[in-house]
Structure 1
């Protein structure tokens, strides 16, 4: 590079930096201390006080042993953070300098060079403060003093004349799960949990951009970009959208301009299972006199999403229409994937969303007791065709509605909506998780001896927050094509019959009500947004609960401490006794608990899918964990797939064949959730012994010719199929083929519960094909084959049919693969 060119490059670069630039203060050297003490310790930003205490070896890791109990004192203390950063004369020449906190957890005072700039009271808000007048050349001292959220919440609670459930968390705008849940520890954090930065700008800067899709056809997409510009110097400015220039006369202060934009022959953003989630990169820049002052880059997707609710003979529909067509929703519920969210790597978001895509999901519900997730989460959902049901962060309690609280919520909603609304994955905004149900069904009013006036006030508070403030703020800040709002999930509690005829349903009769799995066949609503059952994590994750050598024993206090549901072990055992032999051996118990969880969810999902189009959505509880724990997750804290996730991949296939048994009669349903219709389909039904002997084969031709949604075949009596055979020794192999005899879907159906099957010992052999591929085969039925080893298997917990083999890919080479099947558990009764 010659000197003249280098000088020109540096001049242009420095000029641009002089117009707008950003400096990340998170990278500075930070310190923290207990406010009562004098000694400063090293800290990390973004971070939390628990992580900083752990890094300084002042507390043990609360994820291991029973250490959670040992760190509860942290939540009652106040904590101070500080850093010293230098400011150059060049930086001070900027007309405007803003100090921006992306996230402070939660009650804090911000000081710059001893001057109190702002008090904060919301973990979910962005705090932006003009600081040019407070900065000085050279060293600058930035301090953030955090008050205990628990103590502050208790003080706020005193202002209400009756006892609120879940105090003090209801009064604190921070992640509710930190106060403990039935799958997570109590770790009430404080700290600078997101980035801190300085923003330098001159003349004008882009504050926010909203995209609105006015119309969408095969020929073109008519868009409008609503660009908010903050102007320091009045004048004429150009806004460029992908080289298309529009000129505006902008006044000093905040300006909002509307710019039309057309994309010809648009490629649609399609949900997973329907096609490619096409994305467009749009560059928006602000210029004056041909000089770039500010610019942003957007990734947008072109699609339409509608929530359809229409009255019918059985109640009211509840389904999503995407790109003009009804989409059957298959997916999950998401909780924060760590109790200390600042340490969640981008790779973990990408991995979990990728795992959801691989399991044929098309929607994730972000649960209202966690956090508005990191940008990387929504980016991953955009890229993988996963729609997002976005709860606002309120869960399972009552909430106040005083003026300060309502204003705080309004600003929270505004900040999050402005941040997230351009993501094509966002399908619905939901006011809360189970707050309506908590008021109506959970008996808190009786428990806390509310007066009639108290109960009326609770309902008035609820209406104010979730039927006025949140939806009104959405209307104000969302573009019209993004404004799909649902006040509360579920809309009606599971104890009411209407919960199965309209709205969305959280059905917890299984697990909480201890009803048998078979009850799922009867309790099918229009959209099942929560239901679940617990299973143990992988052995690797179970071992990680221990700081030293793991003692794998169900009576071990550490393992007991990593089950947060008060009756969790008791409920698991109760269900296990119904369907399986209960092993004494820990490894076998771990294995069976995973099979039990997968079996329950399979029964639920198949019942939901058989009810299509009455039912148009199934979101099980839950995808992930925030620490090593026995829980409802399908993927454990370390990222290992439990038996459930492997089953979900099979149960969520776009085309499935399902069997239903009632009073000795079998019905068969072929379900197609894809865009392509299948003509002249037929069902092949084979009855086989466990040793592989074929008893009979039937072919059914349905009356309907086309499989474009759901197709029910003729029913048949089990006696007619099984004849004189023992139904505990036979199974059905179901296959659906199209008119070209191509296999569309297949499944196995067993007539008895797993514990009643008369299995014989399979001779399972494993052959190494390459360092990352094996072939597994068996002589007789090997039920629920479990491959063990420190690698991810492309399939696991599967049935291997008699005299068959299966190729399995490994994520990394393994010297030895151990194997177990259900037969092995019959030996430990």
Structure 2
């Protein structure tokens, strides 16, 4: 019998190691025979579970690393080989004692791609093969367990019925969308095909022991009326809770459902009829002076532990824990911008977001990787992550990291305009009308959607549900999602029919949409209005030299070159979806080699993403209510659109965006020379000192202005134009422009350094600037935490654009992930800057700090 899955078991055992597997064609036995423990599977290869067939083959050295060079082309594709090539048996032996009477044991699978037949101890568990990548499964296996506690589980995993042809189109020929599965695996403009289409037991497997009644799918709704602020005494909040109770016995059971949170206990006595699942709604409670959950940059992310428990007499039958963030999310239409506006706890939030595909293209997920990736997004000073519709509803572990770091989540369902027929496309097999009805099984789609909603709906970070990427689902799916499932299962969040819907954003000059995606003149971010809540806008994102050499073979470490106005790149660069810099590097001088190319690319990266977010912020509530960058991460070794690479190594995009997205920020408009301050906070920023200085290439400074200013709450303020002064100073060689906001204690609240070209648009001064005599020291300031101090002598040139990295003293390879409070930073003459770096993992050997800059030679600093 198929049953819905709980979030976390009372008595749970992981079955996520010790598996073996074999290609189904290579064994001539039935599942009944294979699942008997006397059958010898020692010759089968070790399997990765959770994982895919391809991750298992890679782990057993049977295929090369598909993320390196052109290796992916050596791996057979399922479209050419047929589904049988990637159909595998997975077997797990486990010990579990058969429970006493009145107790039950459940096998829980959180994700199998695509269909599966399950056998245990010689018997078939599921009468019909389970279908769909996104549907959790749970089975009562009590009667199947052996008396001697030695058990064997055998699962035959079949790929999705339609593999799709990877013909170079977005989602290949589009037919991958006939399945209820991810679409990117047939290839996209940022990834090559995943050749097994991620077939496998891709998510966690657990055993759970309960009493007669199981607590499943608990649900907590938090209501925070009024307009709140992060600090001070809070008015009460209202919490509503419910849970499903599953009676596993053939007779009625009477007991008590308890919910405990913040020391308060809610109790409901219930009587459950035999073999039923009943949803129980508990009386609402009030939390006095609650600690609220806020998005990143606006306040703290307070989380409350809570527990649901069902007892029969004095015995606990089952319990489940849920972390609760008390917050309320609302939206309303902004008539001035013609776009949707987001409110949290009654306060309007200017959305600064990033698009997310998936943590790893081959589904190699981990709590640590999720934490690192979401932390990088927190460090970018953004407040929202959109999970793109060609992938998955993200895992609870991802959402837990977003809860922790204050990332609102915009979650798409599994649709895309490319595959699902928004436009005609010669790369697609079926015409537009046929594709508009994908997937083949609408009932399975809706069943999967309902299940995934229940899986993640308790997370405070979840803010928006979206029907699909750039297209709504077919009408019957859309109506069911919007009008039935959402009101019933999760009625507190905004549901939008598709990602660039006119319900989200409408440009009166050109309808709704998204983009642009390529490199732009930074002036365009300031002077050209785009969609008022842009779900996808982005630019370039090549990593630095250390990043490139990790996946480029030596022979392919050649930089792209401009020929006849067109950029030409090596074949491996093209295979990894390189998006060009055109002639944007040339003002710095034609790159000499790959290392020089990568360094100059970082200058452009930093400028691009700083300008992007500054341009949007400078028009907040006037032109825009938000923007979401396409994209902030890559799940493989791509050469476009990323703030950090697949190996979790950040590039200058991250730090340019970090500066441009500061909650309190001062910036320079390159078009009209205006200095503008931005305050994203809920209170006025008063009595700030604005200091405007320039530095020439020798390091000589000029004070342009120093004055007290104030910036209103949640607004921008144009302060003054310095265009005439700047044009005069930059004329010959260009200059550095330093903007700082200080409080009355002279503490720096915002620091922003621009390097401006000469009147011809070239950085002639940078090309001949003298070396800076930068002094650098490093000391431990905590566990896995290093403080780096950078001091530039007063008569030195600007120490420009310095990259810090934590490296092994033995190999000089970077320790990843590593987080820095600033990077790619410039140090003015007479200035001292401090950067704190920390890392997650214990490492063997001695770490050092690597530093190099535009006019600072590379060196390695011992840590005191």
Q: Could you tell me the TM-score, scaled by structure 2's length?
A: 0.80
Tell me whether 1:360 sits opposite 2:366 in the alignment. Answer: no
Q: Counterparts of 2:135 and 2:202 in 1: how far apart (Å)?
A: 12
> Which of the numbers 592, 596, 606 marks the counterpart of 1:588?
596
> Which of the numbers 305, 311, 322 marks the counterpart of 2:329?
305
Q: Counterparts of 2:191 and 2:746 in 1: how far apart (Å)?
A: 49
> How far does residue 43 in structure 1 lie from its aligned partner after superposition?
1.6
Question: What's the counterpart of residue 853 of structure 2?
Answer: 820
Question: What's the counterpart of residue 129 of structure 1?
Answer: 139
Question: What's the counterpart of residue 405 of structure 2?
Answer: 384
Write out aligned runs for 1:301-380 (5 A): 301-312=325-336, 315-341=337-363, 343-380=364-401
Deviations 1:544-576 (A, max 9, x none): 2158x686333799974354466x35x223443
> Which of the numbers 781, 784, 802 marks the counterpart of 2:798?
781
Question: What's the counterpart of residue 307 of structure 2?
Answer: 283
- For residues 209 and 89 of structure 1, do their structure 2 counterparts lie closer, same or farther at Cα, with a shift above 3 Å needed? closer
Q: Counterparts of 1:533 and 1:292 in 2: how far apart (Å)?
A: 55
Question: What's the counterpart of residue 244 of structure 2?
Answer: 228
Q: Counterparts of 1:785 and 1:586 in 2: how far apart (Å)?
A: 18
Give the secondary-structure state (helix, strand or coil) at the position aligned to 1:784. strand
Q: Counterparts of 1:692 and 1:288 in 2: how far apart (Å)?
A: 77
> How far does residue 210 in structure 1 lie from its aligned partner after superposition?
0.9
> How far does residue 354 in structure 1 lie from its aligned partner after superposition?
1.8
Q: Counterparts of 1:678 and 1:786 in 2: how far apart (Å)?
A: 32
- For residues 587 and 209 of structure 1, do their structure 2 counterparts lie closer, same or farther at Cα, with a shift above 3 Å needed? same
Deviations 1:429-462 (A, max 9, x none): 11111236xxxxxxxxxxxxxxxxxxxxxxxx63
Tell me whether 1:475 sits opposite 2:486 in the alignment. Answer: yes
Tell me whether 1:147 sits opposite 2:158 in the alignment. Answer: yes
Maintained 8 Å contact 1:87/1:140:
yes
> Which of the numbers 775, 787, 802 marks the counterpart of 2:829?
802
- Counting helix residues as a fraction of each chain, which structure ranks higher? 1
Q: Counterparts of 2:777 and 2:704 in 1: how far apart (Å)?
A: 34
> Which of the numbers 196, 205, 208 marks the counterpart of 2:205?
196
Question: What's the counterpart of residue 175 of structure 2?
Answer: 168
Deviations 1:622-680 (A, max 9, x none): 22221233121101111111011111221111111122143xx4222110012331224
> Which of the numbers 274, 280, 283 marks the counterpart of 1:257?
280
- For residues 250 and 710 of structure 1, do their structure 2 counterparts lie closer, same or farther at Cα, with a shift above 3 Å needed? same
Give the secondary-structure state (helix, strand or coil) at the position aligned to 1:51. helix
Give the secondary-structure state (helix, strand or coil) at the position aligned to 2:282. strand
Question: What's the counterpart of residue 425 of structure 2?
Answer: none
Question: What's the counterpart of residue 681 of structure 2?
Answer: 674
Give the secondary-structure state (helix, strand or coil) at the position aligned to 2:638. coil
Question: What's the counterpart of residue 447 of structure 2?
Answer: 411
TM-align CA RMSD: 3.4
Q: Counterparts of 2:109 and 2:662 in 1: how far apart (Å)?
A: 43
> Which of the numbers 199, 203, 208 marks the counterpart of 2:217?
208
Give the secondary-structure state (helix, strand or coil) at the position aligned to 1:573. coil
Maintained 8 Å contact 1:99/1:130:
yes
Maintained 8 Å contact 1:110/1:118:
no
Q: Counterparts of 2:625 and 2:294 in 1: how far apart (Å)?
A: 18
Question: What's the counterpart of residue 684 of structure 1?
Answer: 691
Deviations 1:741-788 (A, max 9, x none): 664433234442773342322323333343643424261123323346
> Which of the numbers 632, 638, 649 marks the counterpart of 1:629?
638
Q: Counterparts of 1:225 and 1:46 in 2: how far apart (Å)?
A: 32
Maintained 8 Å contact 2:406/2:461:
yes
* Number of residue pairs matched by the alignment: 757
Maintained 8 Å contact 2:297/2:381:
yes
- For residues 817 and 98 of structure 1, do their structure 2 counterparts lie closer, same or farther at Cα, with a shift above 3 Å needed? closer
- For residues 196 and 810 of structure 1, do their structure 2 counterparts lie closer, same or farther at Cα, with a shift above 3 Å needed? closer
> How far does residue 476 in structure 1 lie from its aligned partner after superposition?
4.5
Give the secondary-structure state (helix, strand or coil) at the position aligned to 2:792. strand
> Which of the numbers 765, 775, 789 marks the counterpart of 2:774?
765
> How far does residue 208 in structure 1 lie from its aligned partner after superposition?
1.6
Q: Counterparts of 1:365 and 1:140 in 2: how far apart (Å)?
A: 42
- For residues 500 and 360 of structure 1, do their structure 2 counterparts lie closer, same or farther at Cα, with a shift above 3 Å needed? farther
Q: Could you tell me the TM-score, scaled by structure 1's length?
A: 0.83
**Structure 2 unaligned runs (5+)?**
1-8, 29-42, 227-233, 421-434, 562-567, 781-785, 808-813, 840-845, 859-864
Question: What's the counterpart of residue 3 of structure 1?
Answer: none
Question: What's the counterpart of residue 608 of structure 1?
Answer: 616
Q: Counterparts of 2:589 and 2:179 in 1: how far apart (Å)?
A: 46
Q: Counterparts of 1:85 and 1:378 in 2: how far apart (Å)?
A: 31
